[in-house]
Chain A
Amino acid sequence: MPTSEDYEGQVPAWCPGCGNFQILSTIKQALVELGIEPWEVLLVSGIGQSGKLPHYMKCHTFNGLHGRTLPVATAAKLANHFLHVIAVAGDGDCYGEGGNHFLHAIRKNPNITLFVHDNQIYGLTKGQASPTTARGTHTKIQPYGISSEPLNPLATAISLDCSFVARGFAGDQEHLKELMKAAITHKGFSLLDILQPCVTFNKVNTFRWYRERVYKLEDEYDPYNRIKAFERSLEWGDKIPNGIFYKNDKETLEEMVPTIRKEPLVRQKFSIEAVKHEIDKFY
């Protein structure tokens, strides 16, 4: 059985007190509790504070470009669906720069897990608005206040019939861990949006601000009801629900591709002999 030490990576270079620390330690715990070994995990990330997370762990890692996490993760899964592929991204990374990939990865439904560190701000580039920053918020770049409506990732994902949609809070690690485990074990594309306070640049959505507002979806809540899920995903303000909003059990991308049903692509041997007759078709 793996232990948390097995997953221990480099020393994080985040600001003291940042919500990312809780996310990091919770991912390790979730993987350990699921009995998944580091060599069975591929963590794919983009660029941002969240993008550095794989370096602070020990497992297979692909730290790619800003916003491009999901295409890399999707294809890696297609090439080897035995790997647990987990994508980590920031809100800017995933909903801004990578917005198109976000929509289409949900549509394709690869069996991968996406953790979005949603701090409602651009951390690494020092405090610009992100797609989830509230309208009217003032930043250096938006001195008159942000004019755009914030993106609602949960509602967006539910509208696309995403296979698994959940939200957790970095400040409630126990709950977050359960959500992570559910997301990793869910078959299909799983989105877990994580409320992550950025203690340096986001002076509004602080740990305290969240603690006063977040609550868990009721035990009787049925995550298979899409309309209800959509309704609950719109709740944001004095009360912010967390938990698994929506689930469905549809076929995954890998299941839909006939060539990899039996064996992962990466295990399929190639021999020129097998394809040689292809040339006859040109006579």
Chain B
Amino acid sequence: MEVKFLDYTLRIGGEAGQGLQTIGGALAKIFSRTGYHVFTHQDYMSRVRGGHNYYQVRFSDQKVSASRDMVDILLALDLNTVEIHKKSVRDDGFVLYDSETIKKKFEGPEFIDVPFKKIALDVGKSSIMANTVATGAVLGLLDLGLESLKEILKSTFKKKGDEIIEKNIACAKAGYDYVLSNCPRCEGVEIREPEGKKLMLIDGIQAIGMGALMSGCKFYSAYPMTPSTGILNYLASKAEEFGLVVEQAEDEISAINMAIGASFAGVRAMTGSSGGGFALMVEGLSLAGITETPLVIAEIQRPGPATGLPTRTEQADLLFILYAGHGEFPKVVFEPGTPEQAFYLTNRAFELAEKYQIPVFIQSDQYLGDTEWTFENFDLEHLIYNDYRLREKDLEGIEEYKRYKYSDTGISLLAVPGESGKHLVVADSDEHDEEGHIIEDAETRIKMVRKRLLKKMPLIKKEIEAPLLYGDPSPEIVLVGHGSTYGVIKEVVDILSKDRKIAMMHFSQIYPLSERDRFDYIELLENAKLAISIENNAMGQFAKFIRAETGFEFTHQILKYDGRPFTIENLKEEVDAYL
């Protein structure tokens, strides 16, 4: 693949527990602070120690949004890594390793043997600092200077004291210098310093967490399940500072019912889980539906069925989410393609949930959840916050309050219980009348279904934005994706657009589908010579959904269901096969 700009990929491999995340995370941060665009992704097994894992950091002076297969630098912390990944090292690439630690010496110009452990013992008096030596060595290879790493070491070891900080800095420098003087080939590595400024580095999960925080979410209840646990961690770490309550529930059934209880009582509430955990929440989802309780649910997919591949990725819960819940009630499903979209869509999820008193989903997956991206900034002026609930003062003028009062929009006023001495709030999971009391008569049932579902749905549909078209405005080839495949499809379009009229159509607001009067995306697909649906699942769930909703049938599909995300090379190859 031809690359005109600086585009470097670094892969750090080893066992779980060897500190891959610490090294990779530090390097990614150093690159983003230097002003490089960064994209990281992780590949790890479901175990706390051992196994084979890697952390990949791609950095460039242009925007990057996916991973490549081939790497420029392989940092191998164990023998396994060298053997598995040496074939992925480019001809002019490098393998950094410590022959003493992995008990094997490799010949060949790409191998740079750095005694990580020995240097750590000599300079830092502790083998624990071998990872710091390795991090310094990578920077030495790129000759990027040590300033950013020093800052990171200072903040990381702040609690451990100055001595530890100094020792770590000395270790980093020793690794750096060792590579400079022991790698003649490295002279040829020409790293252009980027012109841009410091960039922010954020992953999908953090973006959802921060999006919730900045949308006024006050209550989050969940039961830990990979890969959704990060949201729980993020919000718990902010609870005290920003005044929220984060509850670890006894199970997912409780988690969703808690979020509903908190929302009923008057605060913005959210819950989250992954496939199996969400399966347990489905009954509660319907409860939010009939009680018209605002609720945001993050469903972060992993491959199923059942427990599936706990730490891998797939987009195979889409139809499950779309059709989840017994009975009929409105809902909204968002599936962001980037951390930036995750941030804004989480904010929109809260807005729509509160405005229409419905459940709204942020659906994502392990891949987007864990990948870190760089952005110049998120425009916080775009955030929406409207409090739709009636509190103290708002209730003053209201003579008679009925929780489920019929209205033209189907939306009834949502009062907060306990705010006034006379307005009572009655919610019911049984079919109910305007006051919230159980009924069984046919007439009221019809009216309630109209109010709750048929009146609200067209209004909700109007709020949904059309899919994004990227690339040629009247394309002959359209690559269609949804959710986390955004980044990789975009890069493949960039590569192929040099000699083809090609575009990406990306859906992040999945359900309900946007109206076609503003942008007739289906017509565009019909007019293209080739429209390929690209999905990270085996059944082509999104294509099925589009067909069911619009009648449009994709004749071509690219499906990947090995539990791994698409890489640029592998998606390009699959697309090429159709061209």
Chain A positions within 8 Å of B, measured between CB atoms, are: 10, 37-40, 42, 44, 47, 52, 54-55, 58-65, 68, 70-80, 82-83, 100-101, 103-104, 257-260, 265-266, 268, 270, 272, 274-276, 278-279, 282-283
Contacts and interface: CB of A to CB of B under 8 A. Distances in A.
A272 B257 contact: no
Contacts of B213: 275, 278
B421 A75 contact: no
B257 A276 contact: no
B240 A258 contact: yes
Contact of A279 (B257, B266, B378): B378
A265 B243 contact: yes
B206 A282 contact: yes
Interface residues of B, number: 67
Contact of B266 (A70, A72, A266, A275): A266
Contact of A100 (B251, B423, B428): B251
B385 A75 contact: no
Contacts of A74: 258, 261
B247 A78 contact: yes
A259 B243 CA distance: 5
B333 interface: no
A37 B424 CA distance: 11
Contacts, number: 184
Contacts of A266: 265-267, 416, 418
B32 to A, nearest CB: 8
B129 to A, nearest CB: 26
A70 B254 CA distance: 8
B509 to A, nearest CB: 22
A75 B265 CA distance: 8
Interface string B175-204: 000000000000000000000001111100
Contacts of B427: 61-63
Given A62-B264, A79-B267, A100-B253, 7 more contacts: A60-B417, A60-B426, A63-B428, A71-B249, A278-B210, A283-B33, A283-B199
Nearest to B384: A272
A68 B257 contact: yes
Contacts of B242: 274-275, 278
Contacts of B206: 282
A272 B383 contact: yes
A268 B218 contact: yes
A71 B254 contact: yes
Nearest to A262: B243
Contacts of B32: 283
Contacts of B267: 79, 265-266
Contacts of B249: 71, 104
A75 B253 CA distance: 13
B165 interface: no
Given A79-B219, A79-B266, A60 B424 contact: yes
B422 A42 contact: no
A76 B216 contact: no
Contacts of A42: 265, 417-418
A35 to B, nearest CB: 14
Contacts of B422: 39
18 contacts: A40-B418, A52-B438, A55-B437, A55-B438, A63-B430, A71-B249, A75-B258, A75-B260, A78-B219, A79-B218, A83-B417, A101-B250, A104-B249, A266-B418, A270-B216, A282-B202, A282-B210, A283-B198
A243 B444 CA distance: 44
B487 interface: no
Contact of B262 (A60, A64, A75, A259): A75
Contacts of A72: 257-258, 260-261, 264
Contacts of B316: none
Contact of A259 (B198, B239, B253): B239
A54 B427 CA distance: 10
Contacts of A59: 424
B283 interface: yes
Interface string B462-502: 00000000000000000000000000000000000000000
Given A63-B427, A266-B267, A279-B380, A71 B257 contact: yes
Given A83-B417, A259-B239, A259-B240, A282 B425 contact: no
